[in-house]
Chains A and B, each alone.
Chain A
C-alpha cells in the first residue's frame, strides 16, 4: 500500500471520529433542553390559565373608576368653572391639560396652587363676591408670591394707593364741638389756654389754666371741721400747717373729731309737699286716700308708677301735683318684697 493512501485514510477516520463525538454531545444537550422546556411550558400554561379572567375584571374595575372620575370631574367643572383645571393642576401636576382634554375644553392651565395660597384659594372659592374671587378668571395672576400683601391690597381701591394705611389719629381732632375736646391752640399768655369757654352747667368749675391761691376759709367756730392729724391732708387738700387759719401748734395733739363731727350720711330727701301754687285743685285731684293706700302685692300705686302711666283715662300724663304729701302709713317701712311709696326711688316719686 502506498503510504500516501494510508495517511489519507487515517485523516478521514479522524475527521469522522471528531464529528461523531461532538454531534453526539450536541444531541444529548438538545434532549436536556427539550426536557427543560417541557417544565417551563407547564408553568407558562398555569400562568395563562390563571390570568385569563384578569382582563374582564380589570376592564370592569377601570370602567367603574372612569365613571367615578368623570362624575367628579364634571362636578368640579360645574362648581369651579374655569378654575377647575388649575385646581387639578395644583393637586396633580401635569394633569390639568389632561383634564381639559377629557372635558373637551382648551386653554391655558393656571396652577391655582401657585397663584393663591391654600387659604386664599378656599376663601375665594367660598366668597365669589370678593374681588379676589372675581378678578382671577382672566389676566395675570392676582396674587404676587413675593409681595402678596401688596397684591391683595391692590384688589381693594383705597385712596392714596395700595400701600396707604390709615393715619394715626390726631389728638384733639375728629370729635367735639369744634372738632375736638382739647384743641390746643397757641397760647398768647403762658399758662393760659385760649379757646375755652366757661361752662354754663353746674358741674365742676372750668380750670382757668392758672395756679390760683385761695384764701383759707375760716374754720367754723363750732368745730365742725376738726384739724386733721399731723401728716394728713384735710378735706381742702392742703396740709393744715400751710393754711393761715389752721391751728398753729402742730405739737398740740389735734383734737379728735367729735363723734357728731363726721357728716352723717345724707338722708333721703323727704317728700316735700309741693308749693301751694302747684297744688292741684281739689276737684282735679284724684281720690287721694284710695290711691295712696298701700299698693297691693305685685302692683304699684300712683306713687310708685311712672308719671305718664298715672293718667286717669290714659288721655293725659299725670301731673306732678299728684304727688301729694304721703300719709303717715307711707313712712312705714315696706314689707319685705313689697314696695310702698317710700321704697320707690326718689326720682320716681
Chain B
C-alpha cells in the first residue's frame, strides 16, 4: 500500500513538467506558420522581380555592340597615339 502512495506522489510531480514541455512544443509549432507566410510573400515578390531577367538578353546584345565599338576605338587610338 505504501508503494501505491509513492507512485501517486511521483505522478503528481511529473504532470506539471509534462504540461510545460507539451506547451513549449505547441508554441514552437504555432510560431512557424507566420514565418512561412512571410517567406511565401517574399518568394512571390522575387518571382515577379525575375520577370526582368529576359531583358538581360537585350543587355547582352548591347554589350556586344559596345565592346565592338570600344575595340574599334582602341584600334583608332592605337594608330593615332605613338607607342611608349
* Chain A interfacial positions (CB closer than 8 Å to B): 2, 4-5, 7-8, 11-12, 14-15, 18-19, 21-23, 25-26, 29-30, 32-33, 36-37, 39-40, 42-44, 46-47, 50-51, 53-54, 57-58, 60-61, 64-65, 67-68, 71-72, 75, 78-83, 128
Query: Can you give 24 A-B contacts (C-beta < 8 A)?
Result: A8-B4, A11-B11, A14-B15, A15-B18, A19-B18, A22-B26, A25-B29, A29-B29, A33-B29, A33-B32, A36-B37, A36-B39, A39-B37, A40-B43, A46-B43, A50-B47, A57-B53, A58-B56, A65-B63, A67-B67, A68-B67, A79-B77, A79-B82, A79-B84
Establish whether residues A26 and B25, one from each chain, have CB atoms under 8 Å apart when the complex forms: yes
Other contacts beyond A12-B11, A30-B29, A68-B67: 16, CB < 8 A: A4-B4, A4-B5, A4-B8, A5-B4, A7-B8, A22-B19, A29-B30, A33-B29, A40-B36, A53-B53, A54-B56, A57-B57, A60-B60, A67-B67, A71-B74, A82-B84
Q: B15 touching A78 by the CB < 8 A rule?
A: no
B5 touches A54 (CB 8 A): no
Instruction: List, in ascending order, chain B residues with CB within 8 A of A83's CB.
Output: 84
Contacting pair B7 A29 (CB below 8 A): no
Partner of B70, one of A18, A25, A68, A81: A68
Contact residues in B for A25 (Cβ distance below 8 Å): 26, 29
Q: How large is the interface on B (under 10, 10 to 19, 20 to 34, 35 or more residues)?
A: 35 or more
Chain A residues lying within 8 Å of B57, measured Cβ to Cβ, are: 57
Which chain B positions have C-beta within 8 A of A54?
A: 53, 56
Chain A contact residues: helix, strand, loop or mixed: helix
> Are B4 and A51 in contact, with the CB atoms below 8 A?
no
CB 8 Å contact bits of B30-70 with A (1 = contact, 0 = none): 10110011011011101100110100110110011011001
Contact A75 B8 (CB under 8 A): no
Given contacts A4-B5, A36-B33, A50-B53, contact A78 B40 (CB under 8 A): no
Query: Within the assembled complex, what's the spacing in Å between the Cα atoms of A75 and B78?
Result: 7
Contact B50 A75 (CB under 8 A): no
Whole-angstrom distance from the CB of A236 to the nearest CB of chain B?
74
A258 to chain B, nearest CB (A): 82
Closest Cβ of chain B to A237, distance in Å, is 70
